[in-house]
Amino acid sequence: MANTKQAQKRARQAEQRRKHNASQRSMVRTYIKRVIKAIQGGDHATAMTEFKAAQPVIDRIADKDALSKKKAARIKSRLNKRIKALAA
């Protein structure tokens, strides 16, 4: 445990940020699951709609560093690739 007042405060802040970031990452995973479910259902239009909804959320969370920018780009790329394969 932290010994000084400043260290105690920083520990509290770190815990709050950890919980907030975990919540944000969970939200991103939910959006990704929606896209994957639409892809597995074989519905291209729904998959595109869900992907367009998920894209700004993924970018926003990556901008806030709760998710790596490279990981966000990789996720979007893979989802888009699967959607394009569905259309073909």
The contacts found for 56-62 with CB under 8 angstroms, 24 or more apart, are 57/27, 57/28, 57/31, 58/28, 58/31, 58/32, 61/24, 61/25, 61/27, 61/28
Longest dimension (CA), the chain: 62
Residue ranges in the chain modelled with pLDDT below 50 = none
Name the one residue in this structure whose structure tokens are 């959006």: 31
Domain of residue 67, residue span: 5-87
CA distance 85 to 43: 12
Supply the pLDDT for residue 88.
83
Dump pLDDT digits (tens) for 69-81. 999 999 999 999 9
Number of structural domains (the chain) is 1
Instruction: Give the list of residues 6+ apart from residue 29 with CB closer than 8 angstroms, or none.
Output: none
63: domain CATH number is: 1.20.58.110
